[in-house]
Amino acid sequence: MESSLITALRNEIPDLNAIELNDFAALWTVQKTISRNDLLYPRGKAETNIYFIESGSFRICYEVDELEMIVGFGYPNTFILDLPSFHTSRPSEFYIQAIKSAKVWGIEKTSFYGFLDNNLTFAKYWRHRTELIMLDLVEREIDILTSSPQTRYERLMRRHPGIFQQIPHKYIASYLRMTPETLSRLKKS
């Protein structure tokens, strides 16, 4: 595992030197194995970890009037968290559920922020990463509110070209706010 985490961290934060990288990787001490359909964490609990997905896949869900809405995904060699809950320590509005059995490594909030507070390179990276997350969320909101299904599909393919190899199509259709049949037609065209 360590090599896949270190490789992912090196790719994600290339400005960290080898010592900083190893120090940061050593803080990822939470290890979990999640069975298919089980929750990585439930709605209503404050999130205190960021996770690296070694294997498996997840969907991030939000419920409105008992209707499940998929708002994101996680798959191997990516990181997953509920940023609002992690940042504010408030109970999560979301839950993260395993689509496929998964193995994850986590870093606790106190360790994460301790490293952030003591490493300027990492602090710059984190500021830049959160800015990108915010821009992505605004673009997604605009997509959902104004774009055609075709445009939403095309943007997803540009942003995450390998997603169809990791996530079942019915979940991608839900994420794109279209029926599985519409997604199937778009893929064929």
Flag whether pLDDT at 131 surpasses 50.
Answer: yes
Task: Give residue-wise pLDDT tens across range 47-106.
Answer: 899 999 999 999 999 998 888 899 999 999 889 999 889 999 999 999 999 999 999 999
Secondary structure class of 79 (helix, strand, coil): strand
What is the pLDDT, as a whole number, of residue 40? 96
Query: 10 near 16, Cβ under 8 Å?
Result: yes
Flag whether pLDDT at 42 surpasses 90.
Answer: yes
User: What pTM was estimated for this model as a whole?
Assistant: 0.88
- Helical residues (DSSP H) of the chain, grouped into ranges: 2-12, 18-25, 83-88, 109-118, 120-146, 149-159, 163-166, 169-175, 180-188
Tell me the pLDDT of the chain averaged across its residues. 92
Largest CA distance in the chain: 51
What is the pLDDT, as a whole number, of residue 142? 85
| Number of Cα atoms under 13 Å in the Cβ half of residue 43 | 11
Q: Which CATH superfamily, name and number, covers 2-184?
A: Jelly Rolls (2.60.120.10)
